[in-house]
Amino acid sequence: MVKYFPEDPDAWSETLTPPEGIWYEGICNCHVELDLVYKRVGEASIRCVYDAHDPWNPTATIHIFHFNEPVDLTPFESIDFIHGLQEKVVSDGKEYPAFTGYCEIYIGFFSYEPEVIDYAICKKYGVVPGQWEAKSFKLREMEVPQWSDKKDIEEILKSINYIMICSYIDDAVAREAVGQSSWIDYIHFTAPEVKLIVKSVPTGKHFVIDGIGFVTPQRFTCSPGEKYTINMEPAGFLYWENGDTNHIREIIMPDHDLTITAYYEGAEAVRKSELIASMAVTGALSILGYMFYSYYWKGR
């Protein structure tokens, strides 16, 4: 029940044109392509190749994923992806890392019409050249750049139309770095996880949630805002912990763990047996305490 966007967390790196948008290069001196050889998850990754040194453009490879329509990212907690950098170039008979290892990601919105609108959140991070590194950044812990038209992260996340990932190349070897590449794989957004626990008294009752059958007690991993229909077996059903007597219950997951309990005929007997067991344990502990007191204090 963990929620990703896209639902298949590897879908955006398996094609240049997934249903939600399109990959393209951010500047004219590089290009993006689908790489079926160098990848970490699935069948492909998105490769960006540095094609030419151009002093008028940033010395970087820039991946951009542009959404077909603005998306609301407020239900999601983090962006997760795998970032790879090519290792080295040769200049004057010596080997140098082409990439500095300094990278940036921007998640934002840009439009010319009806007026220029430009806002984003961003994160600076490092990747060791020659390595693939898994990255996970919490959206609400990212920075808002000074030039952003909006400053509130929650407002920014309500309407996003691009993801941009920059991998910077060392200016000192920029000419020799032509042909060097960076890769993005397994990129997706992840919703926060909360637990749904379905219990019954007595235990062992059958129920159906979204068409799938289970037996109590059960624990599920969900996301805040997700909706579920829980259909408890009707025979002997009495009420829920909130007093509702309908064995079918609709819930919307809150932003914290949720435990719901269905009570059936025989619940009072279970409660009495649990109470008796609890009293027995308490009594036994009291006796042990008295024996300890008598032995160590009265016996001396």
For residue 2, the model assigns a pLDDT of 54
Whether the domain at 4-190 and the domain at 194-265 fall into the same CATH topology: no
pLDDT along the chain (300 residues), means of 10: 84 97 89 95 96 83 96 94 90 79 96 88 95 96 96 97 95 86 96 92 94 94 88 95 95 91 83 53 54 52
- Distance from C-alpha of 194 to C-alpha of 218, rounded to nearest angstrom: 14
Would you kindly state where each structural domain of the chain is located, as residue ranges?
Answer: 4-190, 194-265
For residue 89, the model assigns a pLDDT of 77
For residue 268, the model assigns a pLDDT of 75
Q: How far is CA 143 from CA 83, 152, 188, in A?
A: 20, 10, 19
Peptide bond before 217: cis, by omega within 30 degrees of 0? Answer: yes
CATH architecture of residue range(s) 4-190: Sandwich (2.60)
For residue 90, the model assigns a pLDDT of 75
For residue 65, the model assigns a pLDDT of 98
- Distance from C-alpha of 225 to C-alpha of 220, rounded to nearest angstrom: 14
List all residues 6 or more positions away from 167 whose beta carbon is below 8 Å from its beta carbon: 48, 60, 61, 62, 83, 85, 99, 103, 127, 182
For residue 15, the model assigns a pLDDT of 97
Amino acid letter, 203: T
Confidence (pTM): 0.74
- Distance from C-alpha of 108 to C-alpha of 113, rounded to nearest angstrom: 16
For residue 160, the model assigns a pLDDT of 97
Q: What is the CATH number of domain 194-265?
A: 2.60.40
